[in-house]
Amino acid sequence: MLDVADAPLLRLENVTVSALRDVSLVARPGRVTALTGPGTETALAVALGLVRPARGRVTLGGIPLEDLDPSARWTTVCWVPQLPVLLAATIAENIRLGWSASDAEVAAAAAAAGGLPPGLDTVVGEDGAGLTAGERQRIGLARAFLRDPAVVVLDEPADDDRFLDALRRLVPGRTVLMVAHRPSLLALADEVVAL
């Protein structure tokens, strides 16, 4: 199992897939690495291990991704997609999403993510029907606060003030990799990698 006492480096080394050629990058602990340009979605999929490169490798904490037990990988890495998967359930249940947590822990995660106006007991429709895009992404961010992972991967996060403030609170001590094209998001990055 991966020791994640300290946030690990996430490294892509000379990765080649159909949309990327010989891409290398290092996402460092306590820093935000932003990806911009064509191929960012593919780069995220490779970094998450959802797509295997035809050439090159991806390491997490120096360990090749394919050598990590998937449960260890997903405990270490939290993915906050642009449109998080939401079930027809309460907001609290959607934040937990299979994670064991008390109501107080869920409430703290929701507050850390910028709050969710309807309340944690509010039932939302399938795919988040009844929520704004920003509220949906804050549920995804609340999942990250609840899980407390060493690595957070964000796909084009919202750029409203509450989300950006929450993101700033999430970064310290973590390795953050995000796809960002808007200037307000790029301003949060310590490093911008143009693909």
Distances (CA, A) of 177 to 26, 61, 124, 185: 9, 14, 29, 12
User: What residues are annotated to the active site?
Assistant: 156
Distances (CA, A) of 3 to 73, 104, 176: 11, 27, 18
Element (H, E) at 71: helix 70-76
Q: Write the CB contacts of 72 (distance below 8 Å, at least 6 apart in sequence).
A: 1, 2
Torsion from C-alpha of 110, 136, 176, 155, nearest 10 degrees: 180
Cβ atoms of residues 179 and 36 within 8 Å: yes
Cβ atoms of residues 156 and 180 within 8 Å: yes
